[in-house]
Amino acid sequence: MAAAPDAQGRVEYGLRVGGGEASLNERIGTPLRLEWQGAIHCVHCGRHTRKSYGQGHCYPCFKRLARCDMCIVKPELCHYFQGTCREPEWGEAHCFTPHQVYLANASGLKVGITRKTQLPTRWLDQGAIQGLPILEVASRQQAGFVEVLLKEAVSDRTNWRAMLRGEVDTLDLYAERDRLLEQFRPGLDALREIHGDDAIRRLDAKAQTFGYPVRAFPHKVASHNLDKAPLVEGVLEGIKGQYLLLDTGVINLRKYTGYQVRATLAG
């Protein structure tokens, strides 16, 4: 599912269907039907797989690709310099590039990291209503070191149920940034001594705010599961993050990456 904000921060969604893309915002309030056809194809090699691993991979690719390694989830565990990276060239292209440490508000204050080129996409995937980059670092591993430090005071996770219920108050992200950078200044200075003064730089970026196309938030969040019930249908009440909000429950489309699904849209 593609997502992009307009100039006012309103998020526009498109559902990738076949070789094209269907606008979803204009279909809020109309029936939607999703039917899993029973097949899963690896997003990397294309082979048929009975089970999806690591969001759409077959098991051999899941075990072989660097993008599926634990260090992607916990970048502080990067083992490139030990000579054991699964794909050194891929790691050099994706991990040894500028990354940003950010604050976001999807269900409350959280800290996260992403490649510099992945904002604001990363925030939209999380359903964040606010986002602010606070530091830029030279590599993914260094971003992981900073995130581990800040996680002593701020969660790195989103409460997806609270996010989908719309129970999110706006925050002063500038004040939160200043508080955290001051609180963890000794730890950040220690990291700079190891990696260099220019390896971790403060950013004076502008916070962004986002609005999602939702006409009604669910009072109780119940999830559809294509593996258990391959047919999902209902009225589309809204979209937030990678979730479709139906009057019959919610479904995380990213969870079913690689699944062969037939979508029937009204309009």
The parent domain of residue 244 ranges over 2-53+214-265
On whether both 188 and 119 belong to a single domain, the answer is yes
Residue 267 has pLDDT above 70, yes or no: no
* Contacts for 148-151: CB closer than 8 Å, 24+ residues apart: 148/76, 149/184, 149/187, 149/188, 149/191, 150/101, 150/111, 150/180, 150/184, 151/111
On whether both 20 and 42 belong to a single domain, the answer is yes
> The tokens of 153 are what?
């005071």
On whether both 48 and 118 belong to a single domain, the answer is no
**Strand order across the 20-23 sheet:** 2-5, 11-17, 20-23
Contact 209, 9 (CB under 8 A): yes
Query: What's the pLDDT tens digit per position in 187-212?
Result: 999 999 999 989 999 999 999 999 99
Question: Residue 20 has what pLDDT?
Answer: 77
On whether both 227 and 174 belong to a single domain, the answer is no
d(CA 127, CA 217): 13
Eight-state DSSP code of residue 205: P
Query: What's the pLDDT tens digit per position in 85-126?
Result: 999 999 999 999 999 999 999 999 999 999 999 999 999 999
Percent of the chain residues past pLDDT 70, beyond the cut: 99
Kindly state the average pLDDT of the residues 219-224.
Answer: 94
Among 209, 224, 245, the domain boundary falls at: 209
Does some domain include residue 73?
A: no
Does some domain include residue 71?
A: no
On whether both 153 and 224 belong to a single domain, the answer is no
Query: What's the pLDDT tens digit per position in 174-187?
Result: 999 999 999 999 99
Q: What is the mean pLDDT of the chain?
A: 95
